[in-house]
Structure formats: C-alpha cells, structure tokens
Chain A
Amino acid sequence: AQSVAQPEDQVNVAEGNPLTVKCTYSVSGNPYLFWYVQYPNRGLQFLLKYITGDNLVKGSYGFEAEFNKSQTSFHLKKPSALVSDSALYFCAVRDARGFQKLVFGTGTRLLVSP
C-alpha cells in the first residue's frame, strides 16, 4: 500500500530564512512524488514533482525538493522564505505502476513571520 507522512503539523520560519517542509513516503515500486500548496479558501496548486531523472527538482515560486531514495524522503525547500509563502503544503505519492491513485499527506502549515 502507498502512504505518505508529513511529520510536522506546522513549521514556523522567519522571513528571509531557509525553510524545509518534510515528507517521507512508502510505495512498493518506483514513486511519483508531488508537492501542492493551498492558500485559504482556494484549491490545491501544483508546485513541483519528481517522476524520474535528477533527484533535485525545481518548481514554482522558488521552491525545490530533493528525492532521496535511500531515506524515502522528498523534502520541500526554499532558500529564502517570504511572508506570502504562508500556506498549507501537501506532499503526495503514487506507485508508478498502473492506475494507482495519488495519496496525500495530512498537510503542513507553514507560517512565515515578518
């Protein structure tokens, strides 16, 4: 079975500091990994994904994530946080085989203080 864990309900960071939002996953085969962001009263917006290739993936708004197969992790990072980055972040995974559905984590709330 597929699963994804976001161990932190909330991450607090000061503006200008680097941020990391953690995600670990479990799949039987090769993973497809995704990060989404949700702003208040909005739908989920796609940030970035890892399907194959380079382990470091760059996405929208200066975010990046590193796929680490040995640690089964896909942490989201940004070198310098902005107050406008404050939102709810979801990690998602699916097994690359067949029609497996995308499984979402419980979400991590990021608060960036001025």
Chain B
Amino acid sequence: DAGVIQSPRHEVTEMGQEVTLRCKPISGHNSLFWYRQTMMRGLELLIYFNNNVPIDDSGMPEDRFSAKMPNASFSTLKIQPSEPRDSAVYFCASRGLAGVQETQYFGPGTRLLVL
C-alpha cells in the first residue's frame, strides 16, 4: 500500500493567492483528517470526515479555510485568500473503521509558505 498521499509536498505562494492542498487516503479507510502543525501551536486538528461527510470542523481557523471530500479517495483543503500566518505544515491522515482495529496513518505533509 502506498500510504496516504499528499500533494504538493511544498508550496510557496504570495499573500492573497488561493492555495489547494490535496490528499488521497489509504484505500478502504473511511475517515480522513486534516491537521496543521506549527512551532507555536503544535499539531491542530482542522477538520475530519467520516464516510465523506464532515463530522467536526471546529478547528478550521476561519472562513478562508474550506475542505471537501467528494469521494472516498480524494480530499482537498483550500485556503482563499492565503495569509502569511497560514504558513505551516499541513498533514492529512486516514483511518479505517473505528474500534479495536483503528489507527490513524499520516501522510508526509505539505509545507506551505505564504509570503
């Protein structure tokens, strides 16, 4: 299995531009999570989906952030417009059925720099 795939791995953009981060979860997993990691705030959960439905988006910082999961094999996190304070590493993780077998597996992350 290829694991969780994220693209791009690195993104440099200018303030005000739209940024789209992409994630392909592990095949067969039915939950997907978006996290943000910074030195100041550590690892933060932004939003998570179960069976393609958003369950908890309370971690999304503001309306500039949006996430979609149109099908079981693809999700996007969009920032529009981007700001320098959005600079961080964004991780996607996926998980199989909740319960005894559950484990979240993380992708390699997208390192975002907003100038």
A interface residue numbers (CB < 8 A to B): 32, 34, 36, 41-46, 49, 51-52, 90, 99, 101-104, 106-107
Measured CB to CB, the closest approach of chain A to B6, in angstroms, equals 8
- Interchain CB contact (< 8 A) of B103 among A41, A46, A90, A107: A46
Measured CB to CB, the closest approach of chain A to B112, in angstroms, equals 14
Measured CB to CB, the closest approach of chain A to B32, in angstroms, equals 12
B103 contacts which chain A residues (CB < 8 A)? 34, 46, 49
Closest A residue by C-beta to B93: A44
B50 contacts which chain A residues (CB < 8 A)? 99
Say if the beta carbon of B115 comes within 8 Å of chain A: no
A42 contacts which chain B residues (CB < 8 A)? 108-109
Shortest Cβ-Cβ A-B pairs, 3 listed: A43-B106, A44-B106, A43-B108
> Contact at B109–A102, with CB atoms within 8 Å?
no
Complex CA gap A82/B105 in Å reads 24
Say if the beta carbon of B42 comes within 8 Å of chain A: yes
Complex CA gap A42/B111 in Å reads 10
A49 contacts which chain B residues (CB < 8 A)? 103
Closest B residue by C-beta to A49: B103
> Contact at B91–A43, with CB atoms within 8 Å?
yes
Q: Given A34-B103, A43-B108, does the pair A99, B98 have CB atoms closer than 8 Å?
A: yes
